[in-house]
Amino acid sequence: MTRPTRYLLRGVAPLGGDPTDLLLADGVIAAVGPHLDVSDVARGGARSGSDNSVVEIDARGLVALPGLVDLHTHLREPGREDAETIASGTRAAALGGFTAVHAMANTTPVADTAGVVEQVWRLGRDAGWVDVHPVGAVSVGLAGEQLAELGAMAASAARVRVFSDDGSCVADPVLMRRALEYVKAFDGVIAQHAQEPRLTAGAQMHEGVVSAELGLAGWPAVAEEAIIARDVLLAEHVGSRLHVCHLSTAGSVEIVRWAKSRGIAVTAEVTPHHLVLTDDLARGYDPVYKVNPPLRTAADVEAVRAGLADGTIDIVATDHAPHTREDKDCEWAAAAHGMTGLETALSVVQQTMIDTGRLTWADVARVLSTAPAEIGRVSGHGRPLEIGEPANVTLVDPAARWTVVPEEQGTASVNSPFRGRELPGRVVATFLRGRATVLDGAAVTPGAAVTPGSAVTPGSAVTPGSAGADARATAGVGA
Amino acid sequence: MRHLLSTADLDVTTAVRILDTAAQMAATQSREIKKLPTLRGRTVVNLFFEDSTRTRISFETAAKRLSADVINFSAKGSSVSKGESLKDTALTLQAMGADAVVIRHQASGAPHTLAASGWVDSSVINAGDGTHQHPTQALLDAYTMRRHLAGDAVGVGDVGRDLSGLRVVIVGDVLHSRVARSNVLLLRTLGADVTLVAPPTLVPVGVEAWPCRVSYDLDPVLRDQQPDAVMMLRVQRERMTGGGSGGGAFFPNPVEYTRGYGLDRRRLALLPDHAIVMHPGPMNRGLEISADAADSPRAVIVEQVTNGVAVRMAVLYLLLAGDLAEQKNVEERVVVA
């Protein structure tokens, strides 16, 4: 019986710590320790055939992280396959170091039924780049009026635990309360896109000095903060979990800090772009900088960095939002909101948080893997880099620098706000349950690393307790 | 200068040069034959995504007086949601060989997008974009102020001058006004002192960064500052109902607005004798401006329209026929004509 390629990572620094070797075999971290003996490593495997070989990777100087988990990704399929497909978006995710992503519900049709979330989950499994965890809509059609079938989505094969009307705010306080309460039955969480709709009608950018100058309708910080304030109080009242999507203002950080000090079960995310970009980029009216929530001021950027550093903000999530060229190649007001981010997220976090001394690599593992996996109730991801744990591992070269060329990225869209920017840190390799999805910074087509005809015993390359993983392992071999 | 997108792009030298050129253009307009051959064979496209008969006619007249071929392209309704994109419209114009595109668009920044896109080689002239800028309006306002207030006498001795020391009060819907934004920046560049007066709901958040003062109270401003010019901004009907903006009305009702911010007979009397009354038009008589003010001898509102043609001739001339270094030749070319 042949078996999948095993990888021996030589001299890698787990979470930026002391260099050691990691052996990835049979879907798990099989051995950890300095100077692992190759013959020990190879023992127990059939030696005939190249597929049995242990691939050694010189990982000196590289940092090993648990595979990154994105709680906020727009994969656009079904409906807008011209902007992104599940295959292209998850390939981009793997290139960015991710092993799991949460696919937002604002597709066409909306992911508000068990049928749609199962379709998304299945397409993700078939693509094989990362584990795709669909996010279910809170309300039918994202309309904010009637609860979607949250229970059916939770009970489906996709096992949905995160629910969000992202793109729209659950503005009705009664609907929000009901949603918060209802998902307690299956340990779900409501991920709120905090945007008071009346205060943001027609809003184009952050309301402040720059919007006044540019004559673009303002998106005031208070429209975000008012909803977050309301929602943390609702969450406290009903004893539910609340997750705040893409928090962007200094005031929001203060409110979440206050809520946590009261013991309210709130978690919060910030996007990479809100860690570095500011509203004055709108001055050229280039819609690549149009995003919701909008780019804020330098003071807000500093506040979200501080919030991420002190733990007020739990995670970084990309809000990867691919758009077609025609949806960005136009006047600002006509352009779509959103920017790509899967393939720049880790670099931006390194630039803004590591290279500034505000976070360690262990912290990065927490904010980009462990904590999002915990919030999304994703098992098998965000685990320690220890023997027996699933081999979901990302290798990053912190010393590398690269220039962003959107056309060369894995995502199908080119609306990266970092075009032409030099960023630190490069994802060298990504392993999903021991299978390389990225090697030497290049995507490895799923199936290529596994010898055709080989068999994997279901369960051996699989995360215990993950229904999706079982099916994935089986399907992956046949692919 | 390749495009005219915003008064923020004009330094004092360029701005004064445009005003001086406009004065030369205006001088030709009192002749029996008003047409100059300067832009013969050049094509100016008036690309209007928003209705504005007054502005379009002004640009059309200016271009025709310079002998340019004028194409009026009313693109209203062919916005992205309804059909052709700005890009495809621009590519169409490019294919037809436009030398200048005069664009009016409901989206702030659309002229910037057009100029920066590479879709067209033409010069782009912003004829009003959303709530952002309307630079030729500010230039004609400055020209009008200079004629009345900066020279030794009307129309004499003002050439070459800026607006140093003038006090200008702009009253009304600053929030939604591209005229106010353009004027604040240009008047400041030209050395004037600007005070904006509006109810707080019609002042943008972020106005503190503008080079001007802001007041909510018109009477003391008129009484204490004794301004040289008062500019009344048009109040759009939808501001009274909240229609189209997603919010409520910006003020309780028209009567209260007029009481607080309208230029009526009593307020007119507060102005110094030499002060002029301006309005970009079209006026809401009885709302932001009374008939007493609009028809008073100090109103220069009709003259603003006249000056608009001269200023737009100057802008078209400077963008199409010549770099600013060739400026001196304009009079010779005019004479040859």
**Could you please report the per-residue DSSP string of A99-157?**
EEEEEPS-SSS-S-SHHHHHHHHHHHHHH-SSEEEEPBPSBGGG-SSSB--HHHHHHST
The domain of A302 spans 66-376
- Residue B304 in this model has a pLDDT that exceeds 50: yes
Name the residue of chain B whose CA is nearest to A208's CA: B206
CATH topology of domain B135-301: Rossmann fold (3.40.50)
Q: Which residue has the tokens 């005003």?
A: B19
CA separation, residue B14 to residues A123, B18, B133, B317, B319 (Å): 60, 6, 18, 13, 12
Question: Are the beta carbons of A207 and B206 separated by less than 8 Å?
Answer: yes
Domain boundary among A376, A406, A424: A376
Nearest-Cα residue of chain B relative to residue A205: B108
Domain boundary among the residues A376, A399, A431 is at A376
**Does A284 sit within 8 Å of B112, measured CB to CB?**
yes
**A462 in a structural domain:** no
For all residues of chain B together, what is the average pLDDT? Answer: 90
Q: Is A415 annotated as a binding residue?
A: no
- Identify the band that residue A468 occupies on the pLDDT scale cut at 50, 70 and 90: very low
Q: What's the pLDDT tens digit per position in A76-117? A: 999 999 999 999 999 999 999 999 999 999 999 999 999 999
Same domain, A149 and A272: yes
Does a structural domain hold residue A357? yes
The last residue of a domain, from among A350, A376, A402: A376
Asked whether residue B337 carries a pLDDT value surpassing 70, the answer given is no
Structure tokens at A21: 């070797």
Q: Are residues A258 and A302 in the same domain?
A: yes
Segment A11-25 shows an average pLDDT of: 97
Average per-residue pLDDT for chain A: 92
Q: Are B172 and B215 in contact (CB under 8 A)?
A: no
Residue A460 lies in a domain: no
**Under 8 Å between Cβ of B198 and B174:** yes
Task: Give yes or no for a contact between A43 and A92, defined as CB atoms under 8 angstroms apart.
Answer: no
pLDDT in tens, B146-197: 999 986 555 556 788 999 999 999 999 999 999 999 999 999 999 999 999 9
Say which of A209, A326, A331 has its CB closest to residue B110.
Answer: A331
Q: Are residues A189 and A325 in the same domain?
A: yes
Q: Into how many domains does chain A fold?
A: 2
In a domain, A315, yes or no: yes
The CATH number of the domain where A25 resides is what?
2.30.40.10
* Burial class of residue B57, CB neighbours in 10 A (0-12, 13-18, 19+): middle
3-class DSSP state of A202: coil
Q: Which of B84, B108, B173, B196 to mutate to test the interface with A (most CBs of A within 10 A)?
A: B108
Q: Is the separation of the CB atoms in B288 and B280 below 8 Å? A: no
Query: Helix, strand, coil shares of chain B as percentages rounded to 5?
Result: 45, 15, 40
- Kindly determine whether residue A333 and residue B106, on different chains, have CB atoms separated by under 8 Å: yes
Chosen from B5, B113, B214 to mutate, greatest number of chain A CBs within 10 A: B113
Q: What is the CATH number of the domain that holds A117?
A: 3.20.20.140
Question: Quick one: pLDDT at residue B84?
Answer: 77
Q: How much is the pLDDT for B158?
A: 79
Compute the radius of gyration of chain B from its Cα atoms: 20
Same domain? A344 vs A295: yes
Burial class (CB in 10 A: 0-12, 13-18, 19+), B31: exposed
Looking at this predicted complex, what is its ipTM? 0.89
- On chain B, the residues whose CB falls within 8 A of the CB of A202 are 245-246
Cβ-defined contact of A211 to B205 (cutoff 8 Å):
yes
Query: Nearest to residue A208, comparing CAs of B207, B319, B83?
Result: B207
Whether the predicted pLDDT of A47 surpasses 50? no
Alpha-carbon gap: A217 to the closest alpha carbon of chain B (Å): 9
pLDDT digits (tens, 9 = 90+) for A225-253: 999 999 999 999 999 999 999 999 999 99
- Is the same domain home to A148 and A239? yes
**Chain A residue at shortest CA distance from B87:** A330
Burial bucket for residue B71 (CB in 10 Å: 0-12, 13-18, 19+): middle
Q: Which residues pair with B259 in a beta bridge?
A: none
- Using DSSP's 3-state secondary structure scheme, residue B73 falls into strand
Among the listed residues A279, A319, A363, A397, the single catalytic one is A319
Asked if A256 and A202 sit in the same domain, the reply is yes
Which residues of chain B are in CATH 3.40.50.1370 domains?
A: 7-133+304-336, 135-301
Asked whether residue A228 falls in the same domain as residue A154, the answer is yes
pLDDT, residue B156, reads 56
- Would the CB atoms of B109 and A285 count as touching at under 8 Å? yes
In the residue annotation, A112 being an active-site residue is answered as no
Better pLDDT: A281 or A465? A281
A19/A112 same-domain check: no
A281 plus A271 within the same structural domain: yes
pLDDT computed for residue B213 by the predictor: 98
Same domain, A111 and A80: yes
Residue among A286, A330, A332 minimizing CB distance to B108: A332
Same structural domain, A75 and A47:
no
Q: Is residue A242 part of a domain?
A: yes
The answer as to whether A478 is a domain residue is no
Alpha carbon distance B161, B37 (integer Å): 28
Residues of B in contact with A286 (CB under 8 A): 116
Answer yes or no: is A314 within a domain: yes
- What is the pTM for the complete model shown? 0.90
**pLDDT for residue A41:** 60
Single out the residue of A470, A474, A445, A303 nearest to residue A379, CA to CA.
Answer: A470
Residue B179: in which H helix or E strand, if any? helix B178-189
CB proximity B247 to A under 8 Å? yes
Residue A469 has pLDDT above 60, yes or no: no
**Predicted confidence (pLDDT) per residue in A134-156, tens digit:** 999 999 999 999 999 999 999 99
Q: Please, which pLDDT band fits residue A43 given cuts at 50, 70 and 90?
A: low
One domain for residues A344 and A318? yes
| CB of B91 less than 8 A from some CB of A | no
User: What is the CA angle B71-B75-B79, rounded to 5?
Assistant: 150
| Least trusted range by pLDDT, from A61-65, B43-47, B48-52 | B48-52
A300 DSSP 8-state letter:
H
Higher-confidence position of A37 and A140 = A140
CATH 3.40.50.300 fits B7-133+304-336, yes or no: no
